[in-house]
Chain A
């Protein structure tokens, strides 16, 4: 393995990890603060991708499509939280698991009714539709670099909100002791709506900006959901910092694992999860 090859793989791992972070950040917020195991999180990722595919066709512009799609995603999160989750907060986790699993089935079916079972793609938008020459025969899509930039910027924004704003203090406190926060006179109800919508919007947005690099197909969110749960568990439930480092770790592990130990590739992330849980049962940053 020469140095160039190693460097390219490092880049691949970083890019995959950053995208994972964007999806997992919403999951960990919803999981950690609201105590909701949202199995429909991956389906929201898919909806983001389909929205952008549809709107790009209609509006003729990828960037415009994103501008229109983000508010739709926020509204979707709002509706789901108010209509369905609202009644389940006081109940056992099992009810939430059942509900969000049902949501997967409904969302997948709605997707099929609206967009059908075919496979679609979105063209890489300008000005990022070029490639950089990395090695003699390998290029790297500029859009991938752009995607990394967006993920890093969002990570910074999320970090800033959580660390340095009043809202962030409430969120952090909520993750530790919900009852105490409520006791201090903070409207947890509104907080929950906000967090759920933000979580849904984050994963849908990840689906949107990843759309030009991925294939838009039925069920595309199902497989990424499991990886994201692994990320959240490794990082520590509710911790944004944990989601970030967990995602980078898993991104690197999958990338290098698939090349260096292909026979174990599909197991690598679970082995890492098991190892982390053995040492730190609550995750790395919990």
Chain B
């Protein structure tokens, strides 16, 4: 008798809890975010920074998006373009994620864009700067929270002219990112009245710069504009300083020349000017709060990549709030995403018709080992996206 009673109680308890959990999964199964970012190899630091920023933004929403919990599905993209289509299809079809967030590398982005077209998966690109993503290959379900090469370099063209430079030599790697970057600078600089006296193309990924530096010295321009990133950026700036060119010929560059490289650059970086859409020294309330929250959470100063991740999280939060957490109605979701306005650490952001951020670009200079904001080089710059048809 006693046993029978106990069993009934147990059974009913188990029964109700099963029903309760079933109800819970029906109405509030978590929003699945598929992270297709490099977690190994050369670009792993970027993948981690983006993930950290994203998680910080979602943590600030009590770990929820539109009232639903969040589940992260991490997939190491290894920055390997050849694996991109399979990887993305695994996330979308295998793991059934609601959003794909990635990649870092432009080559991987090309492969992802193809799958984004095929599957219609909502994709948010938190880094890759290839122009085509929001121009020739734009599509309604693809958003970008970072930048394009053009957007960061175009403002430097005008800034260089305003600083009195008339004859400039450009030097970059002979590959897509370098070409897009230098094209942006050249467009603005020549429009302002300046002249590009020589364009030097270095075979990618060579970092043997001595012969080009001698060439630059013999041309003796008013300034040099360059795009090199990562280790190449450090090599170039250090060789440039060691060749004594920095004193006589100012060095200008895309922000990625110095972003994340400050320590390795050391003394050689002093005085180098760049344009970029973010600097951790930006004096705004949003940025001060972000920097201190990020430092508290991860023990390091955030960089542009962390901001891309953070804004991706904020963007999702805002859009999902406005559709009340409903990820089934894709059209409403896309509409909500494209109407997002953020008070980002990098300044106000909204999205153009091609789903590219309209944002401020800042003129930065390395002073005493810090990336200081000298000026707003271009306010609320929108990228030209004439080839975008959606």
Contact of B211 among A12, A123, A214 (CB under 8 A): A12
Q: Which chain B residue shows the least CB distance to A123? A: B266
- Report yes or no: B201 in contact with A262, Cβ–Cβ below 8 A: yes
The listed residue with most A CB atoms (<10 A of its CB), out of B218, B220, B266, is B218
**Is B190 in the interface zone, CB < 8 Å from A?**
no
Q: Which chain A residue shows the least CB distance to B202? A: A258
Interface size on B, residues (CB 8 A): 43
- Report yes or no: B245 in contact with A255, Cβ–Cβ below 8 A: no
- Report yes or no: A121 in contact with B244, Cβ–Cβ below 8 A: no
**Is B21 in the interface zone, CB < 8 Å from A?**
no
**Is B7 in the interface zone, CB < 8 Å from A?**
no
- Report yes or no: B244 in contact with A131, Cβ–Cβ below 8 A: yes
Instruction: Give per-residue flags for A126-165: 1 if the beta carbon is below 8 A from chain B beta carbons, else 0.
Output: 0000010101011111000000000000000000000000
Q: How far is the CA of A82 from the CA of B263 in the complex (A)?
A: 39
Chain A nearest CB from B107 CB (Å) reads: 16
Instruction: Give per-residue flags for B178-217: 1 if the beta carbon is below 8 A from chain A beta carbons, else 0.
Output: 0000000000000000000000111101111011111101
**Which residues of chain B in 216-231 are interfacial with respect to chain A, using CB atoms and an 8 Å cutoff?**
217-218, 220, 230-231
Q: Which chain A residue shows the least CB distance to B265? A: A121
Taking A137-B249, A266-B203 as contacts, is the C-beta distance between A217 and B214 under 8 angstroms?
no
Q: How far is the CA of A12 from the CA of B208 in the complex (A)?
A: 10
Instruction: Give per-residue flags for A261-273: 1 if the beta carbon is below 8 A from chain B beta carbons, else 0.
Output: 0100110000000
**Is A219 in the interface zone, CB < 8 Å from B?**
yes
**Is B238 in the interface zone, CB < 8 Å from A?**
yes
- Report yes or no: B44 in contact with A214, Cβ–Cβ below 8 A: no
- Report yes or no: A117 in contact with B215, Cβ–Cβ below 8 A: no
Contact of B42 among A8, A9, A141, A219 (CB under 8 A): A219
Q: How far is the CA of A118 from the CA of B261 in the complex (A)?
A: 8
Find chain B residues with CB under 8 A from A123 CB: 266
Find chain B residues with CB under 8 A from A119 CB: 230-231, 234, 260-261, 264
Taking A133-B244, A258-B202 as contacts, is the C-beta distance between A215 and B214 under 8 angstroms?
no
Find chain A residues with CB under 8 A from B217 CB: 8, 135, 137-138
Find chain A residues with CB under 8 A from B238 CB: 121, 215
Instruction: Give per-residue flags for A1-19: 1 if the beta carbon is below 8 A from chain B beta carbons, else 0.
Output: 0101100110011011000
**Which residues of chain A in 199-218 are interfacial with respect to chain B, using CB atoms and an 8 Å cutoff?**
213-218
Q: Which chain A residue shows the least CB distance to B232? A: A215
Total A-B Cβ pairs within 8 A: 110
Taking A118-B45, A218-B42 as contacts, is the C-beta distance between A137 and B220 under 8 angstroms?
yes
Instruction: Give per-residue flags for B241-269: 1 if the beta carbon is below 8 A from chain A beta carbons, else 0.
Output: 01111001100000000001101111000
Chain B nearest CB from A219 CB (Å) reads: 6
Q: How far is the CA of A15 from the CA of B234 in the complex (A)?
A: 20
Instruction: Give per-residue flags for A232-266: 1 if the beta carbon is below 8 A from chain B beta carbons, else 0.
Output: 00000000000000000000001110110010011
Chain A: interface size category:
35 or more
Taking A119-B234, A119-B261, A218-B42 as contacts, is the C-beta distance between A138 and B245 under 8 angstroms?
yes
Q: How far is the CA of A71 from the CA of B375 in the complex (A)?
A: 51
Contact of B210 among A2, A16, A124, A218 (CB under 8 A): A16
Find chain B residues with CB under 8 A from A12 CB: 210-211, 214
Q: Which are the 6 A-B pairs with shortest beta-carbon distances? A: A139-B244, A217-B231, A266-B203, A138-B217, A215-B231, A12-B210
A–B pairs, 29, beta carbons within 8 Å? A4-B218, A5-B218, A8-B217, A9-B211, A12-B211, A16-B208, A16-B210, A112-B44, A119-B230, A119-B260, A119-B264, A121-B234, A121-B238, A131-B243, A137-B220, A138-B218, A138-B243, A138-B244, A215-B231, A215-B264, A216-B231, A217-B231, A218-B41, A219-B42, A223-B206, A254-B211, A258-B202, A258-B211, A266-B203
With A254-B208, A259-B212 already in contact, 11 other A-B pairs whose C-beta atoms are closer than 8 Å: A5-B215, A13-B211, A16-B208, A121-B234, A131-B244, A137-B220, A138-B218, A141-B243, A218-B41, A259-B215, A266-B203
